[in-house]
Amino acid sequence: MAKQVTDLEIEISTLTSQIELVNLEFNKRTQDLELLNKRYIEREQNLVQLNTQITERTKILEQVAAQIAANEKIIAELDKEKVVKEQLFEDLIVKVAAEEKKSNELRASYKEMKKAVELISNPNAIEMPNLIGLTETLCNQLLLSLGLKLDAIYQNTNNSKAVNGQSIKQSVPEGIIVNSGETIAVVFAKKIV
């Protein structure tokens, strides 16, 4: 029986050693599990942080998209306003051109009326005719018929368009009011041969 007790003690000792080894293995695996659990928690926290960052960046992107949409709307309104202003400017140019035309017509009408008043109110007033292209004889006859005198001046010219003996300049332009008895200087072409 002593042998049986010794065998039992050896068996108990072996089992105790095995239990201790299992306990050590269990403790090691528990530590590994705790370490894995700790890493899992850290990764889960990192995922939560990443998710928070993604949410924040999504909000920022949505704000940027909203701002871009608002800016596009403003640009569209500015484009419409630009088109309206361009049309108004074109209309204004047309109106200014029309007013300028009316103004020029009124000026011309005023000059004609002023000339008519001068001619009516001054019995000696004469409207200067166009003398360019006439000979000295024709200029003299026309001016005398109007009560004016001719001062004939001959000027040498090599202008191919000028005709010898024809008037090329007059001292008083056509349409100007002059008084009867005035002398009008007229330049006649004298071709250089």
Is 26 a member of any domain? Answer: no
Q: Which residue has the higher pLDDT, 192 or 178?
A: 178
Is 139 a member of any domain? Answer: yes
Number of domains in the chain: 1
The predicted model gives 95-104 an average pLDDT of 87
Q: What is the CATH number of the domain that holds 181?
A: 3.30.10.20
Is 163 a member of any domain? Answer: yes
Is 69 a member of any domain? Answer: no
**Nearest Cα residue to 122 out of 169, 40, 55, 179:** 179
pLDDT reading at 177 higher than 80 = yes
Is 101 a member of any domain? Answer: no
Is 182 a member of any domain? Answer: yes
For the entire predicted model, the pTM comes to 0.46
Q: What is the pLDDT of residues 115-169, one digit of tens each?
A: 777 767 778 889 999 999 999 999 999 999 999 999 999 999 888 888 889 999 9
Is 142 a member of any domain? Answer: yes
Is 130 a member of any domain? Answer: yes
- pLDDT for the residue 193: 66
Q: Which residue has the higher pLDDT, 9 or 178?
A: 178
- DSSP annotation string for the chain: -HHHHHHHHHHHHHHHHHHHHHHHHHHHHHHHHHHHHHHHHHHHHHHHHHHHHHHHHHHHHHHHHHHHHHHHHHHHHHHHHHHHHHHHHHHHHHHHHHHHHHHHHHHHHHHHHHHHHHHHH-TTEEEPPP-TT-BHHHHHHHHHHTT-EEEEEEEEE--TT--TTBEEEESS-TT-EEETT-EEEEEEEEE--
Identify the domain containing residue 176 by its residue range.
Answer: 124-191
Instruction: Give the separation between CA 8 and CA 1, rounded to whole angstroms.
Output: 10
Residue listed under structure tokens 């701002």: 67
